[in-house]
Chain A
């Protein structure tokens, strides 16, 4: 079984400040990890994913995440927040291999303050 825990249901940052959204996972097999973003009244959009190989993964809109096996973490970061980054962000995990469903975290709403 797999699960993800997102620390902080709401995060506020100032425009231009570092964005850090935390995600810890639990998986009985090597995980595949994802970050999705959901803008109001829209579906979820894939930001980035980790499968194998390089542990620092770059995604769209300047976001990146680092897979740390020893800490079972996959935190999402962006050096400088833009107003357009205000959205809800979901961390997700899937066991590697096969046609496996993705388990989502409960989401973190990011507020960007001008």
Chain B
């Protein structure tokens, strides 16, 4: 157990629907990062939050949004889902700067859009 908790582990939904993925960072970690892992694109950085504020944005679609709450858990919202959104979505956390600690990853949410 890495200490980063992601729920749900698996999600199957239809095209056009909206889902919410949840991440609880490791205790004491202030930064949360979301990544998408697919066979054709590898690990793609989506977005980073630090202590409730957005810090960096990557290749995140406009249909996707995220937030980090005061208790530091984060949610990734995916809407108007398409077949191509099927992927593993990972959350990672770090205490501060990435260099000092590296990331701690959760076990991911496998999203299947049918």
Instruction: State which of A13-21, A40-48, A61-69, A71-79 sits at the interface with chain B.
Output: A40-48
Interface SS, A side: loop
Query: How distant is A57 from chain B, measured CB to nearest CB, in Å?
Result: 12
Closest to B107 in A: A43
Interface size on B, residues (CB 8 A): 27
A residues 55-114 touching B (CB-CB < 8 Å):
90, 94, 96-107
Q: Which residues of B contact A42 (CB under 8 A)?
A: 107-108
Q: Which residues of A contact B92 (CB under 8 A)?
A: 43-44
Interface size on A, residues (CB 8 A): 25
Q: Which residues of A contact B102 (CB under 8 A)?
A: 34, 46, 49
Determine whether the beta carbon of A102 is less than 8 Å from that of B98: yes
Bound complex: CA of A109 vs CA of B43, how far in Å? 14
Partner of B33, one of A46, A51, A101: A101
| Chain B interface residues toward A at CB < 8 A | 2, 4, 31, 33, 35, 42-43, 45, 48, 50, 55-56, 58, 90, 92, 96-100, 102-108
Sample of 11 A–B contacts (CB below 8 Å): A32-B99, A44-B92, A44-B105, A49-B102, A90-B43, A100-B97, A100-B99, A101-B33, A102-B98, A104-B43, A107-B43
